[in-house]
Amino acid sequence: MNRQNRTEKRWPARVMILVILVLLAVWLQSVHARSGWQQAGFTSFSLGFLLLLAYVSANLLNTARIPLISGYIFAGMVIGPHITGLLSHVMVTKLRLVDDLALSFIALTAGATLHLKFLRKRIVAIVLNISLLTILVFVLVSGFLIVAGPFFAFARSLSRPQIIALGLLIGVIAVARSPSSAIAIIRECRASGIFTETVLGVTVAMDVLIIIFFTVALAVSRMITAPDPVLNWHVFSALLGETTVSLMLGAVLGKGIAVYIRKVNRDLPLFLLFIAFGISKASFWLDHFMEAQYAVSLHLEPLLVCMSAGFAVQNLSSQGARMLESLERISLPIYVLFFALAGASLDLTALRMTWPVATGIATARTIGIFLATWLAGTIQGDPPGHNRIAWMAYLTQAGVAIGLAQLAERQFPDIGVYVTTLVLAVITINQVVGPVTFKVALEMVGEAESV
Amino acid sequence: MKIAFTLLIIIFLVFSGYHLTFRNVRLPFLARQFYFTGSEFLFLGVLLGPQFLNLLDRPTQNSLAPFISLLLGWIGLIFGFQFERTKIKNFAKSSFTAAVIEGTACFVLVFFAVYCIAPLFLDIPGGMKGDAAVVLAATAACTGQSGLALVVLEYGARFGRLSRFLRLVSSIDGVVPFVIFGLFFSWRIGGLPYLSGLGELGGGLIVLLISCLGALLIFVFFLREARKESELILLLIAVAILAGGMSSTLGISPLFLTFLLGILLVNTLREKERIYQILITVEKPAYLAILLFLGANWRLTSAWIVPLAVAFCVYRTLVKVSAGMFVTRLASSGEGRIPALLGFGLLHQGGLPLAMLLDFQQGFLFQGASGIVGLVLLGVLFNDVVGFFSLRRLLETSMQ
């Protein structure tokens, strides 16, 4: 049976699920809750509803080659407070408890997909791509925002230093890409080859580096927006210390996970869930505790700890495959919820106001990626055909970028909402376009087995 | 932060605890008994609750509503999955009937006693006497299999025929009381204004049926395609939360709705075995989490509770023994000779009454409800200890 026939057979069942879910939601919305228990019940219903609706509609959209992650975000947008209102603002806020967990999970998976052996083999190409991508994308995107930002309506209420900070933060976030999307597409196409491996290496390694770049951007932005701007070099030494401690802690934790897998090897998915959740919460707790008790700012970066832990399990033990398999078993509900909630929390009113900027950022980012990959390929002496289309493989953006935007929102309440809205708008564009272009690129270089 | 921290603590306790619990480790008898049934989690719940650490207070529990829905939905599905038509057909008809009659008789006898006596000692408003009696009777009628498992672990599987029959009774006798509890729940709490023409019970039933049908159709359509394990996990989590939340909003029992759904699924789906395997993976952790939540809300509201719990357990024992005597006559034809004092082997209460109690605690928020919860919890602890001795004695006697 060919793909088209299979698709034709499947879509009526998927549509039926959506119809049933919507009917149930409409029915429940008409019920007047008399007690706190009934109101809490509606929150639970919304969570189950969101999970199912996002997953089924993403699968439905996937038949039109729209990637699943884009489908989750889109489903979240549709049922969120701005379009149908099936999920209210309050409910979305309540359900966002899962954010930190999901981000830690994504980081753990990203770390575990990095193979040291492969990284060594393609190290020059990867370093060259990463360096050029970081510099050019950052310069073009932040430059665009700093120069053109004041001409847009949303920025009129912002001061010059705030616009510069906004440019720096979004410029750094624009460098991030999505390992989960990249891996999903590579698996979907059963792709393999030099092009595929280089893209994977750059994408995953970039997700480690982006956290360091982002922390630097946060420190510089804090300095710029402070009433008394002084470049505090102590911030950078503290960052270096925090990064080192986070990486080391992650490595130790990774060894611990490997020992658990080797010796206990029970309930591994749940153990990893607990670890991911524990790291994200313990980092925040330690941060607050040290600040409140000793006036010491010790900010361990949970994403970096998790990524380092995943990397350690994969490369310093023989348990990497087992861990990846376990992560995959339970990652689906977490991913669906995370991306659907990210879509539901999109401020579409702000998005309507900022779409010209979002398009501008996406364009600047794409130009930066094109220049960087073309230059890197030319220096490396890669085939010209590859160099011309390599940019298509780097557009996808998701989890970590959203997480970074949220961190920025917490650190800079004045400009944070713009950062999140713009980043989500750009991600929405990139997540719809990026996976499709990546798939096309894999086909064009002849590394995709099936399409 | 508090919600996340509490959830983290619960996950840690439950998943680290369940590997250590339910084992026959060498401890003094009472401690082993306590440990084997997971009763220590009730006390951990008390520790986490408002009386001590205040981590699991009422607002936090409300925020964890999806988690509670997931627990109740999950346990309901597991219970429903035990009623597969082909497996039930394997039992002798007389044994099945005997088990059902035993459970129903216990329910009726405990119901009337509690209805008349409990309000004299507990602060239960007049209109709520029936609510208290139904939950106490339904939980009292259920028999758990954990006691039998412990005795078999202790003495080896030497009691073939009788232990098989006890296992059958303990898996069936809670059905009728549980169905009564579920329907009563729908009648008392559920019902929608536009269905008032059908009466409170009729309205509740319609709501129950529509909800159940909706959830079933989601399953059926979802499983029209071959699904990977990760997709089935997603489906189960989502439907358990959805059905649990839907039933809470509509005022019907989440546990009962998912129980009905479980029965329908196990008798209609081809994928039932794969689904059941996923469900039972976290059965024990789910049960321990229920104990934590119950423990957090456990209050000894009246000085009468402890003597009342003892009296309740003694009465329950008498009822179980009497009902047992009655049904052994029925079952003896199908299962060979069954000892007349069968009821002494049916005192353990198991996990289902605890899930029903959590369900009750969520839906029935009247004055005196916490007293009823306290009474049942004391009863469960008491029966866990007494049940083991009486079951062992019964099995030993039957060997002679």
Work out the average pLDDT over A230-242.
Answer: 71
Q: Do B221 and A16 touch (CB under 8 A)?
A: yes
Identify all chain A residues contacting B69, using CB atoms and an 8 Å cutoff: 41, 44, 48
Q: pLDDT confidence of A52, banded at 50, 70, 90?
A: very high
Work out the average pLDDT over A168-185.
Answer: 83
Shortest distance, CA B390 to any CA of chain A (angstroms)? 35
Identify all chain A residues contacting B247, using CB atoms and an 8 Å cutoff: 41
Shortest distance, CA B393 to any CA of chain A (angstroms)? 37
Determine the straight-line distance between the first and last CA of chain B, rounded to whole angstroms: 60
Q: pLDDT confidence of A451, banded at 50, 70, 90?
A: very low
Q: Do B5 and A94 touch (CB under 8 A)?
A: no
Shortest distance, CA A435 to any CA of chain B (angstroms)? 22
Closest chain A residue to the Cα of B68, Cα to Cα: A44
Q: What is the CATH number of domain A100-230+329-444?
A: 1.20.1530.20
Shortest distance, CA A75 to any CA of chain B (angstroms)? 16
Which amino acid does the sequence have at A294?
Answer: Y
Q: CB burial class (10 A; 0-12, 13-18, 19+) of residue B136? A: buried
Q: Do B246 and A45 touch (CB under 8 A)?
A: yes
Of residues A408 and A2, the one with the higher pLDDT is A408
Give DSSP secondary structure letters for B135-166: HHHHHHH---SHHHHHHHHHH-S--HHHHHHH
Is a pLDDT exceeding 80 seen at residue A98?
A: no
For chain B, which residues make up each domain, given as ranges? 29-398
Q: Do A33 and B225 touch (CB under 8 A)?
A: no
Of residues A301 and B236, the one with the higher pLDDT is B236
Q: pLDDT confidence of B81, banded at 50, 70, 90?
A: very high
Q: Do B237 and A333 touch (CB under 8 A)?
A: yes
Give DSSP secondary structure letters for A106-139: HHHHHHHT--HHHHHHTHHHHHHHHHHHHHHHHH
Identify all chain A residues contacting B68, using CB atoms and an 8 Å cutoff: 44
pLDDT for residue B22: 55
Shortest distance, CA B224 to any CA of chain A (angstroms)? 7
Range B187-225 burial, b when 16+ CB lie within 10 A, else e: bbbbbbeebeeeeeeebbbbbbebbbebbbbbbbbbbee
Q: Please provide the average confidence, as pLDDT, over all residues in chain B.
A: 84
Q: What is the CATH number of domain B29-398?
A: 1.20.1530
Q: Are the CB atoms for B38 and B263 separated by under 8 Å?
A: no
Work out the average pLDDT over A113-124.
Answer: 80
Tens of pLDDT, residue by residue over B257-270, are 999 999 999 999 88
Tens of pLDDT, residue by residue over B329-345, are 776 655 567 788 888 88
Q: CB burial class (10 A; 0-12, 13-18, 19+) of residue A238? A: middle
Identify all chain A residues contacting B222, using CB atoms and an 8 Å cutoff: 13, 17, 56
Q: Do A52 and B238 touch (CB under 8 A)?
A: yes
Q: What percent of chain A has pLDDT over 90?
A: 21
Q: Do A330 and B233 touch (CB under 8 A)?
A: yes
- A·B CB contacts under 8 A: 158
Nearest to A44 among B15, B245, B363 (CB): B245
pLDDT for residue B25: 58
Identify all chain A residues contacting B244, using CB atoms and an 8 Å cutoff: 41, 44, 48
Cα–Cα distance between A449 and B388 in angstroms, integer? 62
Is a pLDDT exceeding 70 seen at residue A320?
A: yes
Q: Do A24 and B246 touch (CB under 8 A)?
A: yes
Work out the average pLDDT over B21-29.
Answer: 61
Q: pLDDT confidence of A410, banded at 50, 70, 90?
A: confident
Mutating which of A1, A3, A6, A45 best tests the B interface, going by the most B Cβ atoms within 10 A? A45
Identify all chain B residues contacting A41, using CB atoms and an 8 Å cutoff: 65, 69, 244-250, 254
Nearest to B245 among A43, A273, A277 (CB): A43
Mutating which of A8, A20, A21, A37 best tests the B interface, going by the most B Cβ atoms within 10 A? A37
- As a 3-state breakdown, chain A gives helix, strand, coil percent values, each rounded to 5, of 80, 0, 20
Q: Ranked by mean pLDDT, which of A59-63, A376-380, B29-33, B330-334 comes out on top?
A: A376-380
**Residue A286 backbone dihedrals phi, psi, to 5 degrees:** -65, -40
Q: Do B15 and A277 touch (CB under 8 A)?
A: no
Cα–Cα distance between B148 and B165 in angstroms, integer? 11
Identify all chain A residues contacting B210, using CB atoms and an 8 Å cutoff: 27
pLDDT for residue A363: 94
Range A186-208 burial, b when 16+ CB lie within 10 A, else e: bebbebeeebbbbbbbbbbbbbb
Q: How far is CA A220 from CA A240, A295, B11, B195, in A?
A: 14, 21, 39, 63
Q: How many residues would you count in chain B?
A: 400
> In a 3-state reduction of DSSP, which class is residue B85?
helix
Which amino acid does the sequence have at A418?
Answer: Y
Q: Do B217 and A38 touch (CB under 8 A)?
A: no
Identify all chain A residues contacting B359, using CB atoms and an 8 Å cutoff: none
Where, residue-wise, is CATH 1.20.1530.20 in chain A? 100-230+329-444
Of residues B49 and A301, the one with the higher pLDDT is B49
> In a 3-state reduction of DSSP, which class is residue A248?
helix
Is a pLDDT exceeding 60 seen at residue A2?
A: no
Work out the average pLDDT over A275-292.
Answer: 80
Residue B221: both structure tokens together: 């359509």
Closest chain B residue to the Cα of A330, Cα to Cα: B230
Q: Are the CB atoms for B132 and B118 separated by under 8 Å?
A: yes
Nearest to B241 among A35, A48, A336 (CB): A48
Closest chain B residue to the Cα of A39, Cα to Cα: B249
Q: Are the CB atoms for A294 and A238 separated by under 8 Å?
A: no
Identify all chain A residues contacting B280, using CB atoms and an 8 Å cutoff: none
Work out the average pLDDT over B129-148.
Answer: 87
Q: Do B239 and A20 touch (CB under 8 A)?
A: no
Shortest distance, CA A41 to any CA of chain B (angstroms)? 4
Cα–Cα distance between B325 and A179 in angstroms, integer? 66
Identify all chain A residues contacting B7, using CB atoms and an 8 Å cutoff: 97, 277
Shortest distance, CA A383 to any CA of chain B (angstroms)? 39
Q: Do B3 and A284 touch (CB under 8 A)?
A: no
Q: How far is CA A5 from CA A1, A62, A187, B160, in A?
A: 6, 15, 22, 54
